[in-house]
């Protein structure tokens, strides 16, 4: 199995876990440094979903959005005091980083 195939399988598994996990109550209406965590989840999840749906490709705009989400998650995660909220965002971060490292150019 190729490294790329393994990474897509890992991304798919993490995506299924993320979709099944409820958004933590502690993060509803939570903002850290002006970053709304609910919107951050929405944008990052949208990019991951698009990447999976499009066979590992994202357009340039979604690639930029995903990179911005990763940077925001890097800042936000250390501020989250609730273990469930931190775990939720850490999984989203892991997924976003995995996708960003495996972006194929759109055809």
Contact 38, 94 (CB under 8 A): no
Per-residue pLDDT, 29: 93
- Classify residue 105: in a domain, yes or no: no
Its domain, for residue 47, covers: 3-20+29-100
pLDDT band at 2 (very low <50, low <70, confident <90, very high): low
Joined together, the tokens standing for residue 9 give 């399988």
**Number of folded domains that form the chain:** 1
- Classify residue 68: in a domain, yes or no: yes
pLDDT digits (tens, 9 = 90+) for 13-60: 999 999 999 999 999 999 999 999 999 999 999 999 999 888 888 899
**Does residue 3 register a pLDDT over 80?**
no
- Classify residue 11: in a domain, yes or no: yes
Give bridge partners of residue 36 from the DSSP assignment: 31
- Classify residue 107: in a domain, yes or no: no
Task: Name the strand (E) or helix (H) holding 36.
Answer: strand 35-36
- Which one is predicted more confidently, 4 or 107? 4
Q: CB neighbours (10 Å) of residue 44?
A: 24
Per-residue pLDDT, 6: 79
- Classify residue 64: in a domain, yes or no: yes
- Classify residue 106: in a domain, yes or no: no
Joined together, the tokens standing for residue 39 give 């919107």
- Classify residue 45: in a domain, yes or no: yes
Per-residue pLDDT, 71: 98
Per-residue pLDDT, 56: 83
- Classify residue 90: in a domain, yes or no: yes
């Amino acid at each position: 199995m190729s490294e790329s195939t393994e990474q897509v399988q890992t991304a798919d598994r993490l995506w299924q876990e993320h979709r099944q996990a409820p958004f933590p109550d502690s993060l509803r209406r939570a903002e850290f440094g002006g970053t709304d965590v609910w919107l951050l989840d929405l944008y990052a999840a949208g990019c991951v979903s698009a990447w999976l749906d499009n066979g590992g490709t994202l357009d340039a705009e979604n690639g930029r959005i995903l990179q911005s989400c990763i940077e925001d998650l890097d800042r936000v995660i250390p501020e989250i005091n609730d273990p469930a909220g931190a775990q939720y965002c850490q999984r989203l971060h892991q997924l976003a980083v995995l996708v960003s490292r495996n972006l194929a150019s759109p055809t």
